[in-house]
């Protein structure tokens, strides 16, 4: 996992005066499961389409194994795509769909037959050769779309929100399926989604994007536990984001109360943003915690209770397996390493310091 397989350099792209990608730099390593994560309109799909060859960037270049492929047509690239709505050819059988790329490469009939059988087995749909795409369920069409792409033995598989149209249960099953496929094939996956859970479950690397900028690149753990800024913290999981003042290293003041933390290097008396995950807040009896509050709302969520705690004008979200009724007075306590300190964003765009936390 060290070679730069794909290198996007200084990519900008706008549609009708709308800047979708702004000087984006990103590399993808061989054998990596990389996820582009962000809300709709953040530029993640455009990035994927630029790699696939369906869009040409306005500026910048795309390198594949060191060679410039910016202007190479899609049919000449060693990548294959699984489209959002599968894009199976409706006038062809499943076997014809899977054979499409192989026939164009003029492979022998017996090779094609073997490949179809192998691919269908891989996606657990043996015996579906003669069926038509519209007779298959969404999940099955999805698998065929993957089979159709991988028989061509691409070096990279691009997946554009492939699970978006499936229902929850199927989506979860397919997540494991995709991880298994990735491991069996040993190729690079570039995955686009707006679903943070999907991203956290499957990825080696997550690239969080917003408004055409990369907000953070890191492992799922890094992105979740150490969000680079308020956007990342807010987008990935529930979180309490509140302004604070860094008194000195390892001490932050929030809502007038002083909390111990583990972050250093933010200077002294500097304004910062503070993230505390709802599950990291302990509710304790009055007097035992750092800051006082009153429970305003309690909802049973199955695995835990979700409570709103009003404290000095800020409403904390707290997840806990312990039940606290409404209107009861409590204290809040947070372990120092559960407090995440972030730089204040410099502009409205929240253009983040593009820090790649992967080891080069």
Specify the pairing of strand 213-218 against strand 67-68.
unpaired
Residue 165 binds another protein, judged by CB under 8 A: no
Site membership for another protein, residue 75 (CB under 8 A): yes
| Position among 1, 58, 104, 285 found at the interface with another protein (CB under 8 A) | 104
Q: Is 44 exposed, middle or buried (0-12, 13-18, 19+ CB in 10 A)?
A: buried
Binding residue for another protein, selected from 7, 59, 83, 165, defined by CB under 8 A = 83
Q: Which is nearer to another protein, 83 or 314 (CB)?
A: 83
Is there binding between residue 138 and another protein (CB under 8 A)? Answer: no
List 156's β-bridge partners, or say none. 79, 188
Beta bridge partners of 316: 309
3-state secondary structure of 140: helix
- Pairwise CA distance, residues 102 & 281, whole Å: 56
Distance of CA 310 to the CA centre of its chain: 32
Our finding on whether 90 is near another protein (CB under 8 A) is yes
Residue 206, number of CB atoms within 10 A of its CB: 28
For 153, list phi and psi in degrees, rounded to 5. Answer: 50, 55
Q: Which among 40-48, 67-75, 226-234, 249-257 is the span making contact with another protein, rule CB under 8 A?
A: 67-75
210 binds another protein (CB under 8 A): no
Per rule CB under 8 A, count of chain residues that contact another protein: 25
Helix (H, G, I), strand (E, B) or coil at 249: coil
Choosing from 3, 68, 105, 137, the residue that interacts with another protein (CB under 8 A) is 105
> Which residues are at the interface with another protein (CB under 8 A)?
17, 52-54, 73-75, 79-81, 83-85, 87-91, 100-101, 104-105, 148-149, 152
């Amino acid at each position: 996992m060290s070679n730069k397989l794909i290198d996007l350099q200084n990519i900008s792209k706008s549609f009708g005066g709308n800047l979708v990608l702004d000087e984006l730099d990103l590399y993808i390593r061989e054998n990596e499961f990389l996820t582009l994560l962000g809300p709709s309109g953040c530029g993640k799909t455009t990035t994927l389409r630029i790699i696939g060859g369906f869009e040409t960037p306005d500026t910048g270049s795309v390198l594949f194994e060191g060679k410039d492929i910016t202007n190479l047509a899609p049919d000449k690239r060693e990548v294959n795509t699984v489209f959002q709505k599968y894009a199976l050819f409706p006038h062809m059988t499943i076997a014809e769909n899977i054979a499409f790329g192989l026939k164009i490469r003029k492979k022998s009939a017996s090779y094609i037959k073997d490949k179809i059988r192998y691919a269908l087995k891989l996606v657990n749909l043996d015996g579906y050769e003669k069926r038509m795409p519209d007779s298959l369920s969404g999940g099955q069409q999805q698998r065929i779309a993957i089979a159709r792409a991988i028989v061509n033995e691409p070096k990279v598989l691009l997946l554009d929100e492939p699970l978006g149209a499936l229902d929850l249960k199927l989506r979860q099953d397919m997540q494991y399926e995709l991880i298994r496929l990735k491991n069996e094939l040993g190729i690079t996956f570039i995955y686009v989604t707006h679903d943070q859970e999907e991203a956290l479950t499957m990825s080696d690397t997550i690239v969080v994007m917003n408004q055409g900028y990369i907000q953070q690149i890191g492992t799922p753990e890094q992105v979740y536990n150490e969000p680079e800024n308020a956007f990342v913290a807010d987008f990935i999981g529930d979180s309490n984001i509140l302004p604070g003042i860094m008194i000195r290293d390892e001490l932050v003041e929030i809502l007038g109360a002083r909390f111990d933390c583990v972050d250093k290097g933010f200077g002294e008396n500097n304004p910062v943003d503070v993230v505390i995950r709802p599950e990291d807040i302990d509710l304790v009896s009055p007097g035992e915690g750092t800051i006082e509050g009153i429970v305003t709302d309690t909802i049973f969520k199955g695995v835990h209770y979700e409570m709103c705690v009003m404290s000095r004008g800020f409403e904390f979200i707290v997840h806990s397996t312990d039940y606290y009724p409404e209107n009861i007075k409590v204290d809040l306590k947070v372990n120092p390493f559960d407090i995440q300190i972030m730089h204040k964003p410099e502009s409205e765009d929240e253009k983040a310091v593009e820090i790649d936390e992967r080891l080069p």
